[in-house]
């Protein structure tokens, strides 16, 4: 999507739709008033009214987009209104969308951001799509009081949209294309943005003693990888970094504890945590964030095989703690155990936030609009929840009760890798907590939010959401930069 900011009076190009963002109680004039009167359009949030060949207007179509109460209009409202406008005309055959909104530059800038998010599409494997089904709108013009100021203010949000797009592309890729080494290559390519990227293969991880992560990957013909992404953007390059760790299971069959066939294809998305961390690092570098940040991705494939790890196996993690594997499908925590330990051991970060599509139980607990937050630190948790509210990426804190620790006691090792069905997301988080060595930490279980099908949010097309990139970018920006 090619986006420009234009002054209110600028000539409308050929083959354009004009979307006018209006509020409840607004009055309309002339033929427009007639069209509104003949419909149920009130200006309520989410409503659109499509008017073909509007009289007295230089546009092929006019779309009125309801934005609710004028006083309650926010930057998030501007994003959603612009997304609704795009979704109303995207396959109309018209090529340009002009978005008209009055008021603050902020609103114009966020309308542009909303268009970037709404127009995302993963279509590289469609070779036979009929022309009339493809989106036709490729250009947008957003009215702004001061177009130059708007363009300047859009730069960091455009970088954020680039990061979210990167995440969505990674998460959408099938596992035959995006296996650990390919994921690592795509992350390595981010060095052009100024990031430093190190890739560790199996021999390096073996030397570090990462028996937990390596155990998961040993049944796959694809080599496991650990990606270490570094962004030193703070004025003081030696300042303590913030750190993000992602579960990157490029495909999760369940291993020997194999999953049922139905919906197993969804498990290409089991690298959504690593995808979000990669997208976040992309965004931080893209907007030259004044922070030192580390991103660590544990990249593996969980397969059943003659060489696969078995239920009953005991793994020794980098921390030295031993783990009895009782279910090879509880693999994400095994990957994160070594990635988290390595992160705190090497980088001594201010805090670690891990993102993982860790448990089906979080979907049962919270549904698809909230991820679960688990933390050993109230300040970090409060910062995450504040960022969640600001960016409208749902997050809900859940407890880490000591009394549940016994669910992961093992007869023969330091712990087992699952605690059974009761509180399944909680015992998974308690397991991870044993690998953070007391560092301020939060775990976001995003199994509920990494993808939506179908999606009901205009800025999130069906499929990979990019959840977490906005939230963490905002938290870094508001609390850890400068
Ligand atoms: N990747 C899954 C979690 C998951 C399930 C994500 C469904 C999205 C949708 C994870 O590796 C897993 O298999 N977890 C098990 C844990 C159990 C064996 C203790 C689960 O949730 O069933
Ligand atoms: Mn699993
Ligand atoms: Zn998994």
Distance (Å) from CA 332 to ligand 3 centroid: 5
Nearest CA to ligand 1 atom 5: 360
What end-to-end distance do the CA atoms of the chain give, in Å?
A: 32
- Predicted local distance difference test score (pLDDT) of residue 482: 84
CB-based contacts of 402, cutoff 8 Å, min separation 6 = none
Distance (Å) from CA 331 to ligand 1 centroid: 8
Phi and psi angles of residue 151, each rounded to the nearest 5 degrees, phi first:
-60, -40
CB-based contacts of 161, cutoff 8 Å, min separation 6 = 113, 116, 117
- Predicted local distance difference test score (pLDDT) of residue 386: 98
Check residue 258 and report its DSSP letter: P
Does the C-beta of 445 come closer than 6 Å to ligand 1?
A: no
Distance (Å) from CA 100 to ligand 1 centroid: 45
Q: Which is the closest atom of ligand 1 to the Cα of 417?
A: 19
State the virtual CA torsion across 304, 307, 308, 309 in degrees, nearest 10.
Answer: 160
The bound ligand whose nearest atom lies closest to the alpha carbon of 418 is 1
- Predicted local distance difference test score (pLDDT) of residue 103: 80
| pTM, 2 dp | 0.98
Distance (Å) from CA 447 to ligand 1 centroid: 8
- Residue 452's H or E segment, with its range, is strand 451-452
Distance (Å) from CA 308 to ligand 3 centroid: 15
CA angle at residue 365 from 360 to 327, to 5 degrees? 30
Grouping H, G, I as helix, E, B as strand and the rest as coil, residue 130 is: coil
Q: Which is the closest atom of ligand 1 to the Cα of 332?
A: 11
Give strand ranges (E) for 54-210.
Answer: 61-66, 96-100, 139-143, 196-200
Q: Which is the closest atom of ligand 1 to the Cα of 420?
A: 19
CA distance 314 to 305: 18
CA distance 226 to 335: 10
CA distance 226 to 248: 9
Mean pLDDT by runs of 10 across the 482 residues of the chain is: 96 95 95 94 96 89 97 97 98 97 93 98 96 96 97 98 98 98 98 98 98 99 99 98 99 98 98 99 98 99 98 99 98 99 98 99 98 98 98 98 98 98 98 99 99 94 98 98 90
Q: Which of 359, 444, 448, 451 to mutate to test the pocket of ligand 1 (most atoms within 8 A of CB)?
A: 359
Does the C-beta of 372 come closer than 6 Å to ligand 1?
A: no
Q: Which is the closest atom of ligand 1 to the Cα of 327?
A: 18
Does the C-beta of 418 come closer than 6 Å to ligand 1?
A: yes
Q: Which is the closest atom of ligand 1 to the Cα of 419?
A: 19
Does the C-beta of 407 come closer than 6 Å to ligand 1?
A: no
Does the C-beta of 311 come closer than 6 Å to ligand 1?
A: no
CB-based contacts of 73, cutoff 8 Å, min separation 6 = 23, 67, 103, 107
Phi and psi angles of residue 125, each rounded to the nearest 5 degrees, phi first:
-100, 10
Does the C-beta of 424 come closer than 6 Å to ligand 1?
A: yes
Are β-strands 2-6 and 352-356 bridged in parallel, bridged antiparallel, or unpaired? Answer: unpaired
Grouping H, G, I as helix, E, B as strand and the rest as coil, residue 315 is: strand
CA distance 104 to 372: 34
Does the C-beta of 304 come closer than 6 Å to ligand 1?
A: no
What tokens were used for 66? 């309801």
Phi and psi angles of residue 438, each rounded to the nearest 5 degrees, phi first:
80, -5
Phi and psi angles of residue 45, each rounded to the nearest 5 degrees, phi first:
-55, 130
Enzyme catalytic residues: 259, 333
Nearest CA to ligand 1 atom 16: 330
- Predicted local distance difference test score (pLDDT) of residue 57: 86
Distance (Å) from CA 167 to ligand 3 centroid: 18
Q: Which of 175, 248, 360, 428 to mutate to test the pocket of ligand 1 (most atoms within 8 A of CB)?
A: 360
- Predicted local distance difference test score (pLDDT) of residue 230: 99
Give strand ranges (E) for 194-291.
Answer: 196-200, 225-232, 242-252
CA distance 333 to 319: 14
Neighbours of 236 (CB within 10 A): 9
Residues 286/165, Cβ–Cβ less than 8 Å: no
Nearest CA to ligand 1 atom 6: 447
CA distance 133 to 126: 12
Q: Which is the closest atom of ligand 1 to the Cα of 331?
A: 11
């Amino acid at each position: 999507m090619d986006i420009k900011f234009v002054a209110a009076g600028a000539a409308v190009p050929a083959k354009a739709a004009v979307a006018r963002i209006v509020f409840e109680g607004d009055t309309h004039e002339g033929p427009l008033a007639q069209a509104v009167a003949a419909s149920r359009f009130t200006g309520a949030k989410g409503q659109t009214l499509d008017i073909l060949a509007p009289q007295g207007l230089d546009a092929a179509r006019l779309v009125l987009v309801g934005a609710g109460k004028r006083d309650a209009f926010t930057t998030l409202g501007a994003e959603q209104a612009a997304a609704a406008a795009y979704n109303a005309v995207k396959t109309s055959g018209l090529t340009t969308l002009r978005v008209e909104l009055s008021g603050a530059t902020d609103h114009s800038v966020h309308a542009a951001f909303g268009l970037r998010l709404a127009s995302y599409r993963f279509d590289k494997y469609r070779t036979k799509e009929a022309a009339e089904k493809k989106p036709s709108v490729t250009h947008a013009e957003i009215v702004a009081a001061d177009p130059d100021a708007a363009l300047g203010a859009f730069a960091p949000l455009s970088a954020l949209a680039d990061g979210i797009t990167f995440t969505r592309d990674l998460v959408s890729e099938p596992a035959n294309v995006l296996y650990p080494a390919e994921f690592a290559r795509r992350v390595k390519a981010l060095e052009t943005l100024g990031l430093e990227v190190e890739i560790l293969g199996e021999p390096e991880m073996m030397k570090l003693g990462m028996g937990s992560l390596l155990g998961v990957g040993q049944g796959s013909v694809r080599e496991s990888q650990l990606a270490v992404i570094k962004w030193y953007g703070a004025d003081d390059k030696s300042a303590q970094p913030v750190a993000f760790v992602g579960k990157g299971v490029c495909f999760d069959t369940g291993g020997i504890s194999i999953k049922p066939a139905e919906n197993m294809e969804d498990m290409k998305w089991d690298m959504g945590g690593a995808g979000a961390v990669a997208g976040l690092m992309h965004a931080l570098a893209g907007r030259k964030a004044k922070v030192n940040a580390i991103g660590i991705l544990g990249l593996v494939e969980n397969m059943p095989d003659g060489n696969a790890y078995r239920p009953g196996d005991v793994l020794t993690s980098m921390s030295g703690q031993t783990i009895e594997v009782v279910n090879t499908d509880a693999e994400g925590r095994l990957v994160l155990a070594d990635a988290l330990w390595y992160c705190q051991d090497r980088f001594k970060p201010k805090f670690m936030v891990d993102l993982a599509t860790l448990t089906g139980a979080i979907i049962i607990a919270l549904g698809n609009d909230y991820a679960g937050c688990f933390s050993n630190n109230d300040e970090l948790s409060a910062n995450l929840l504040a960022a969640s509210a600001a960016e409208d990426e749902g997050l809900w804190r859940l407890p880490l009760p000591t009394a549940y620790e016994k669910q992961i006691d093992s007869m023969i090792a330091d712990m087992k890798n699952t605690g059974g069905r009761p509180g399944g997301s909680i015992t998974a988080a308690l397991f991870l907590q044993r690998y953070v060595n007391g560092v301020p930490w939060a775990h976001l279980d995003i199994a509920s939010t990494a993808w939506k099908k179908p999606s009901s949010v205009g800025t999130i097309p069906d499929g990979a959401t990019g959840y977490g990139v906005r939230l963490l970018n905002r938290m870094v920006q508001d609390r850890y930069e400068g």
